[in-house]
A and B are shown apart, each in its own frame.
Chain A
Amino acid sequence: MRLNVNDEDVEVDVDPDTPLLWVLRDHLNLTGTKYGCGIGACGACTVLMNGHPIRSCSTTAEASKGYNIQTIEGLSENASHPVQQAWIEGDVPQCGYCQSGMIMTAVALLNEKANPTDEEINDAMTNICRCGTYSRIRAAIRKVAQERAAS
């Protein structure tokens, strides 16, 4: 099966019903995308499909065909994406396990809405963080929006 991941066409030998998450992690060795719940509830597995955030644990390989899939590894070289930079400056992660999913969700949000309101941030950021980094995530998203508006 042919997939497009991080702007590369890749050939994977998997059952079509294999969740994209496990194709990324176990076949393509892109382990930055995480398994948390397997039912689309926690968001740790969030990747972008044609720019839209999806839960890769609940999306099959078959359903991913023909789309451009972007993972945390494909977001930038050297963590240079403004959202990653805001995460670094805000010292956001603690255990860090949820943060790939958080970052990908935030990237999609900020692409769609240049300056999201608090409510729009809440609506988009439904991912779970058990360490309690939510307020730092919110601050980092606001910072990216402000810096974009200023430039």
Chain B
Amino acid sequence: MSDFTRRDFLKVTSTAAGGLMVGFPLMSLGVSKPFEANKTTGPEINAWLVIEPDETVLIRVAKAEMGQGVMTSLPMFIADELEADWRKIKVEYADVNRSALRGQLYGSMTTRESSSVSDSRMVMHMAGAEARERLIKAAAETWGVSPDECYADYGRVYQNGSAESLGYGAVAKLASEVSVANVRIKSPEYYSMLGLATPRLDVPAKVDGSAVYGIDVRVPDMVYATVLHNPVLGAGLQSMRFNAIRHMPGVIRALRLGDAVAVVAETFWQARKAADALPVYWKSNEGNKRFDDTIKREFFEEFSGDGEVMMREGNIVRLMDDAERTIESDYYVPYVAQVPLEPLNCTVHVQEERADVWVGHQDPEAVMDVVAQMTGLSPYKVFVHNCFIGGSFGRRSHLDFVIEATRIAMEIGRPVQMIWTREEDMRSGGYRPMSAMRFKAGFDVEKNMTVITNHSVTHSIAYDQDRNASGIDEASVQGLIDHPYDFPAYSFSHTRKNTHLKSWWWRSGGHSINAFAMECFVDELAAAAEQDPMDYRKFLLRDKPDYLRVLDLLERKSQYRKRRASNRTAVGMAMHKSYGTLVGVVTEVTVLADGGMQVDKITAVVDCGNVANPLTAEEQVEGGLLYGLSAALYGKLTVEAGRILEDNLDTYEVLRMDETPEVEIHWELSGGEHWGGLGEPATAVIAPAVCNALHKITGRRIRSLPVRDYYLTIR
């Protein structure tokens, strides 16, 4: 590797079509415990990075790694400005307490809404550029020359026209002491890392079992807990009989936690066995003992009212009356669960002077605050050790499981690792909201659409959190009120409709609900206008060149016009913009003779403006599509007498390898200053594309999810 030069590096990475990083020495600097501060001997150049005498560059990441690749993409911004040698990069999480003590030194450490890159990139650029200028100045001072005569490249500072150079490690100490002014970030044409497919720094630890997730934390003297919740949420606990389990091996305590019971034991299995054996008497809440058919009907009954009008243009009533023809369609999505593969867990140790929390969480600052509040400790005495996250998809931004673990730890006085069983994870979720939607449109005699109305009825996440919340929950209507189509006259209204179930964020939030209904109905509009869905969208978007570019490329790459081999196979399309990123999708779908269906292929075109790491970007789009596909095909929680029936992965089906279609991703990047999100936008757009394709084959509209309700099998 000694002759591995920068040029070779560029050649290898820029020709790599995802993962051809031959000879890339990844193993040495892998990270298993991102929360553990590295022992450093070198100076901190600024809050974001330390340079060690051996040239290692330690970069701090202030967002949570849950699979989306931030632990790699964010350091790329710093390394690029720093002109660092990427092989010397090491990462760790930024310190939550330090950030709190120093007025949010690391900015918001919340990871949400696909915003990690767009939120932090300017700060990352500046941190890298500032450090680079310091290193140049320090080297220049060492040589007794002007910084203007020096430049930085690949981990060293050079003098113009001279072979003289100094490694960053050699000048780091001085660099930490000098001052620099008027630091400028690079112009994009000089980027050396950004835009290059770069393997993830967290991969090595994730192939040898060494990556530490919350559930893997081991603390001396730790005990385990598991929790039972009333399967009818919100009904409460009557009593339990601890005496029945107190003599079971390892059992320590059983605790009442409001609506729940915690069983504490020496090992998790002992806790779980005891919890299974514990006689628990739940309170009954007749009002909550409801069935999803009833709940669904109540959502639809709201259509008899007008809802709260959010936006309106034109004389809707008159236009509807004057229409030659009107069409009306109702859409519906059930509650669905996030099902991160790592069940929810949290490890807490509360002591007199401090509390420690080991957890995989999207919002470590909120964890710190809530534990401080509960324990009465100063937030500065609450130490959150954020672990690798074994999937979140929104679920691990909720504090419910952190609060429970903290309550148990406060009672027990020893470090406690609380693990929800998969069954509790499924039954006590914060689910993607249920929603019903009614669309209506009018057409004139020439089949031109003249007016469209929409009334959405959706469970509000904000109202679950705060019963005093008023107004329309923006998350309920995202993707509707900001739709891009040029409708001549329209009205969009909304009704909030909560139930006893608990809703929460789900990858792509309200977009996945609203894009399903909207994009299916746009296909219905096209049919009523007797136009092809692709052509019709282009007509509605005729003044939006960014959209048209994506649709043109999508049409070409998906071979949209090509006649498919059989009349049992067809393509369907959808497009949706969310989190600053437009995704257009064409799916090729086959209806099988035996009453089943399969998705053969997905072609996606993405415009997120710019891409930091094309490798992880592609992974996010593919993963996002498949996550959405899983929910579109299977996602459904059945409410029976108030409880959720699907309590594990045998009854709650998810996508597996044999059902995974070929996925092809293309980029139509509009560039400029725009950096859209990538974790979620693809998730929102897949369901309507599948349903629109199925309609082309069968002539039947699918207006509710999941697709599994309409087909016997899914291949």
Contact = CB atoms under 8 A, between A and B. Distances in A.
Interface string B660-700: 10110000000000000000000000000000000000000
Contacts of B22: 89
Interface string B416-446: 0001011000000000000000000000000
Given A73-B208, A93-B207, A26 B269 contact: yes
A79 B658 CA distance: 27
Contacts of A125: 657
Nearest to B627: A132
A32 B208 contact: yes
Nearest to B66: A95
Nearest to A123: B658
A69 to B, nearest CB: 14
Contacts of B654: 128, 130
Interface stretch (B198-206, B234-242, B370-378, B550-558): B198-206
Given A15-B249, A95-B67, A72 B208 contact: yes
A116 to B, nearest CB: 12
B522 interface: no
Q: Identify the interface centre among B67, B249, B389: most chain A CB within 10 Å of its CB.
A: B67
A8 to B, nearest CB: 16
B258 to A, nearest CB: 25
Given A93-B207, A128-B656, A135 B622 contact: yes
Contacts of A18: 267, 269
Given A19-B269, A38-B421, A42-B341, A78 B27 contact: yes
Interface string A127-151: 1111111111111000000000000
A103 B249 CA distance: 34
A72 B204 CA distance: 13
Contact of B657 (A36, A44, A134): A134
Contacts of B18: 90-91
Interface in A78-106: 78-79, 84, 87-100, 103
Given A22-B268, A94-B67, A97-B342, A132 B210 contact: no
B239 to A, nearest CB: 27
B622 A92 contact: no
A122 interface: yes
B390 A84 contact: no
A148 B19 CA distance: 19
A11 to B, nearest CB: 16
Interface in B204-220: 204-213, 215-216, 218
Contact of B660 (A30, A44, A134): A134
B460 interface: no
A78 to B, nearest CB: 6
A115 to B, nearest CB: 18
Contact of A97 (B199, B213, B393, B622): B213
A97 B391 contact: yes
A134 B663 CA distance: 11
Interface string B387-405: 0111111000000000000
A132 B27 contact: no
B255 interface: no
A30 B208 CA distance: 11
Range of interface residues on A (Cβ < 8 Å): 35 or more
A125 B626 CA distance: 17
Contact of B339 (A94, A100, A130): A130
Say what secondary structure dominates the interface of chain B: loop
B21 interface: yes
Interface in A30-62: 30-39, 41-42, 44
A130 B627 contact: yes
> Which among B615, B623, B655, B662 has the greatest number of chain A C-beta atoms within 10 A?
B623
Interface centre among B210, B269, B341, by most chain A C-beta atoms within 10 angstroms, is B341
B206 A99 contact: yes
A113 interface: no
A130 B340 contact: yes
B419 A35 contact: yes
Contacts of A39: 422, 648-650
A28 to B, nearest CB: 11
A93 B203 contact: yes
Interface residues of B, number: 68
Contact of B26 (A22, A72, A88): A88
A34 B26 contact: no
A26 B209 contact: no
A96 to B, nearest CB: 3
Contacts of B624: 132
A31 to B, nearest CB: 4
A32 B341 contact: no
Given A95-B390, A138-B657, A71 B209 contact: yes
Contacts of B391: 95, 97, 130-131
A34 B203 contact: no
Nearest to B339: A130
A21 to B, nearest CB: 8
Contacts of B205: 96
A93 B200 contact: yes
B207 A88 contact: yes
A94 B69 contact: yes
A19 B422 CA distance: 16
B422 A91 contact: no
Contact of A128 (B21, B216, B341, B393): B341
A15 B266 CA distance: 13
Contact of B204 (A73, A79, A133, A138): A79
B608 interface: no
B609 interface: no
B619 interface: yes
A94 B212 contact: no
Contacts of A99: 206-207
Nearest to B222: A26
B451 interface: no
Contacts of A94: 67-69, 619, 623
B540 interface: no
B21 A42 contact: no
A128 B207 contact: no
Interface centre among A38, A90, A100, A130 (most CB of B within 10 A): A130
Contacts of B339: 130
A5 interface: no
B625 interface: yes
B346 to A, nearest CB: 15
Max chain A CB contacts within 10 Å: which of B18, B209, B210, B393?
Answer: B209
A3 interface: no
A121 to B, nearest CB: 7
B649 A41 contact: yes
B660 A131 contact: no
14 contacts: A32-B209, A75-B208, A88-B26, A88-B203, A90-B19, A91-B615, A95-B392, A97-B213, A97-B390, A99-B207, A126-B656, A128-B654, A132-B624, A133-B623
Given A36-B343, A71-B209, A131-B391, 8 more contacts: A34-B341, A87-B207, A97-B341, A97-B391, A125-B657, A134-B656, A135-B662, A135-B663
User: What 5 A-B pairs are tightest by C-beta distance, nearest first?
Assistant: A32-B209, A96-B206, A97-B390, A95-B67, A132-B626
